[in-house]
């Protein structure tokens, strides 16, 4: 590991994950990068201050897709900080049309990126990859800094080769495990919503996530955070059990120090150093 990486490791925080709001922060040195801002701006700032962070530390924001639980406050934060906001042209179009985004990203701060294109900000390289979902467009992000690499794939309608490739290259993983199939099937959601969630452009079930991980876990996989768990159709215990049982059944050889945990829906996690 080079000295710069040791001095400035990549760090990761989740401030919220799920339909009530998604927000992740990456930090290297003093530079912070935002991935989605679907929680309220006041809660976000309160969390920042608790971590000793400040809006002025942010150098860029990246957006996965235009659903409100990912973008609600991104316009407000962009106006306040003046930072560039990266996503695909279609996601930016979707944000302009999203009625629940009361403040829009100022035109001068809109940065469009193509899938497969890498953007480098403050020593952090970020590459978008396509994710099937029922928004105008949806991307995951593959993040690299020093020896650390992180794959963020949320709101995943179906597993794809691009997602598998990103998971195989990453040693840290944030991957959706939205619902437990039996809980969704017998739950109180209306049929159209069950069909939407289960369809190829909805969300990943615990079982699908488990199989995706079984196909992609490698010797350098260090930490897996299951994200975007449904409040109605999943529990952290159920998601973790399904994943662990499936990896066991598939006889996947797990790296000795691999950590698998579920991200809390509405509270922050401790800052995690990705080494
Ligand atoms: Zn979402
Ligand atoms: Zn979504």
- Do residues 111 and 139 lie in contact, with contact meaning Cβ atoms separated by under 8 Å? no
Calculate how far, in angstroms, residue 67's C-alpha sits from the geometric centre of ligand 1: 6
Calculate how far, in angstroms, residue 69's C-alpha sits from the geometric centre of ligand 1: 5
In sequence order, which ranges of 8-56 are alpha helices (DSSP H)? 41-50
Calculate how far, in angstroms, residue 262's C-alpha sits from the geometric centre of ligand 2: 18
Calculate how far, in angstroms, residue 160's C-alpha sits from the geometric centre of ligand 1: 18
Calculate how far, in angstroms, residue 135's C-alpha sits from the geometric centre of ligand 2: 6
Alpha-carbon gap, residue 108 to 199, rounded angstroms: 37
Alpha-carbon gap, residue 246 to 240, rounded angstroms: 10
User: Whole-number mean pLDDT of the chain?
Assistant: 96
What DSSP string runs through the chain?
A: --HHHHHS-EEEEEEE-STT--EEEEEETTEEEEEEE-S-HHHHHHHHHHTT--GGGEEEEE-SB--HHHHTTHHHHHHHH---EEE-HHHHHHHHH-TT--SPPPGGGEEE--TT-EEEETTEEEEEEE---SSS-BEEEEEEETTEEEEEE-S-SS--HHHHHHHHH-SEEEEE--B-HHHHHHSSS-HHHHHHHHSTTS--BHHHHHHHHHHH--TT--EEEEE---SSS--HHHHHHHHHHHHHHTTPPPPTT-EEEEPPSSSPPPPEEE-
- Do residues 77 and 55 lie in contact, with contact meaning Cβ atoms separated by under 8 Å? yes
Q: Which two tokens stand for residue 11?
A: 């760090």
Q: Which domains does the chain have, with CATH numbers?
A: 3-274 (3.60.15.10)
- 177-203 tens-digit pLDDT: 999 999 999 999 999 999 999 999 999
Calculate how far, in angstroms, residue 29's C-alpha sits from the geometric centre of ligand 1: 29
Please compute the mean of the pLDDT values over residues 50-79 and round it to a whole number.
97
Please compute the mean of the pLDDT values over residues 142-156 and round it to a whole number.
97
Calculate how far, in angstroms, residue 253's C-alpha sits from the geometric centre of ligand 2: 32
Ligand nearest to the CA of 176: 1
In this prediction, residue 247 carries a pLDDT of: 98
- Do residues 18 and 151 lie in contact, with contact meaning Cβ atoms separated by under 8 Å? no
Q: Work out the number of other CB atoms within 10 angstroms of the CB of residue 191.
A: 7
Calculate how far, in angstroms, residue 219's C-alpha sits from the geometric centre of ligand 2: 31
Calculate how far, in angstroms, residue 228's C-alpha sits from the geometric centre of ligand 1: 7
Calculate how far, in angstroms, residue 6's C-alpha sits from the geometric centre of ligand 1: 34
- 82-139 tens-digit pLDDT: 999 999 999 999 999 999 999 999 999 999 999 999 999 999 999 999 999 999 999 9
Calculate how far, in angstroms, residue 10's C-alpha sits from the geometric centre of ligand 2: 26
Calculate how far, in angstroms, residue 33's C-alpha sits from the geometric centre of ligand 1: 19
Q: Is the pLDDT confidence value at 79 over 70?
A: yes
- Do residues 137 and 88 lie in contact, with contact meaning Cβ atoms separated by under 8 Å? yes
**High-pLDDT (> 90) share of the chain, %:** 97
Which 8-state DSSP code applies to residue 269? P
Ligand nearest to the CA of 138: 2
In this prediction, residue 3 carries a pLDDT of: 59
- 202-259 tens-digit pLDDT: 999 999 999 999 999 999 999 999 999 999 999 999 999 999 999 999 999 999 999 9
Report CA-CA distances (Å) from 141 to 119, 131, 162, 245, 267.
11, 10, 11, 28, 22
């Amino acid at each position: 590991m080079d000295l710069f990486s040791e001095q400035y490791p990549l760090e990761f925080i989740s401030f919220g994950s799920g339909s009530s709001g998604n927000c992740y922060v990456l930090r290297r040195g003093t530079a912070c990068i935002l991935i989605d801002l679907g929680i309220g701006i006041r809660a976000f700032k309160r969390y920042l201050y608790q971590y000793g962070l400040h809006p002025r530390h942010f150098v860029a924001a990246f957006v996965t897709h235009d659903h409100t639980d990912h973008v609600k406050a991104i316009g407000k934060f962009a106006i306040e900080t003046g930072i560039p906001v990266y996503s695909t042209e279609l996601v930016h179009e979707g944000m302009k049309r999203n009625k629940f985004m009361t403040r829009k990203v100022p035109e001068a701060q809109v940065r469009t990126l193509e899938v497969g294109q890498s953007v480098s900000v403050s020593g952090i390289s970020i590459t978008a990859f396509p994710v099937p979902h029922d928004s105008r467009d949806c991307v995951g992000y593959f993040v690299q800094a020093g020896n650390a690499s992180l794959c963020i794939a949320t709101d995943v309608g179906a597993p794809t080769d691009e997602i598998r490739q990103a998971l195989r290259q990453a040693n840290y993983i944030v991957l959706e495990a939205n619902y437990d199939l039996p809980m969704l099937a017998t739950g109180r959601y209306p049929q159209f919503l069950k069909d939407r969630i289960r369809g190829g452009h909805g969300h990943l079930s615990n079982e699908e996530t488990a199989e995706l991980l079984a196909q992609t876990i490698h010797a350098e996989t260090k930490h897996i955070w299951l994200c975007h768990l449904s409040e109605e159709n999943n529990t952290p215990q159920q998601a973790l059990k399904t994943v662990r049982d499936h990896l066991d059944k598939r006889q996947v050889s797990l790296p000795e120090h691999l950590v698998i945990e579920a991200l809390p829906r509405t509270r922050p996690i401790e800052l995690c150093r990705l080494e």
